[in-house]
């Protein structure tokens, strides 16, 4: 039996859906929309990185979560893991072609988000003040 903390993050069970393309969307968003994957992907867009290098770049991530996130991305074929059998050990993580392909639409979404952040935050505080009674 595989211990809990190394088991790759199972994608949440998706609802039975008529439109199977929506399931595909949700399946990818479930991976990419988790707490850390986007950060890792973005950090890897400019070349391969080592484990602790990523850990330092992504402020606040725990070892456990970085391992889990990387395993999940590796499982989906978005990231490769290469071990150099040196002492001390060295492990490089790098985006695959598939991963780089994914990074593009994710980046598009990110640019949309960045461009419309003022509107969204405005709507939020507006909504919150309207409902603060």
Partner DNA sequence: CAGTATCCGCGAGGATACTG
Partner DNA sequence: CAGTATCCTCGCGGATACTG
Residues that bind its own copies (CB under 8 A): 8, 12, 15-19, 21-22, 24-30, 32-35, 38-39, 42, 58-61, 74-78, 98, 101-102, 104-106, 108-110, 112-114, 116-117, 119-120, 122-124, 126-128
Contact residues: DNA, CB under 7 A: 3-6, 9-10, 12, 15, 34-36, 50-53, 60-65, 67-68, 70, 81, 88-91
- Nearest CB to its own copies, comparing residues 87 and 120: 120
Report phi then psi at 52, rounded to 5: -70, -25
What are the distances in angstroms from CA 32 to CA 26, 76, 128?
Answer: 10, 11, 28
> Rounded CA gap, 66 and 7, in Å?
13
> Rounded CA gap, 62 and 50, in Å?
15
């Amino acid at each position: 039996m595989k211990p809990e903390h190394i088991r790759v993050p199972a994608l949440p069970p998706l609802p039975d859906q008529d439109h199977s393309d929506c399931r595909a969307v949700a399946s990818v968003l479930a991976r990419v929309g988790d707490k850390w994957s986007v950060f890792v992907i973005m950090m890897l867009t400019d070349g391969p990185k080592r484990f602790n290098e990523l850990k330092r770049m992504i402020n606040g991530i725990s070892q456990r979560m970085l391992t889990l996130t990387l395993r999940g991305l590796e499982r989906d074929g978005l990231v490769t893991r290469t071990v150099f059998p040196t002492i001390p050990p060295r492990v490089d993580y790098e985006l695959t072609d598939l991963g780089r392909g994914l990074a593009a639409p994710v980046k598009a979404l990110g640019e949309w988000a960045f461009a419309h952040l003022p509107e969204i935050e405005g709507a939020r505080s507006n909504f919150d003040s309207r409902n603060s009674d």
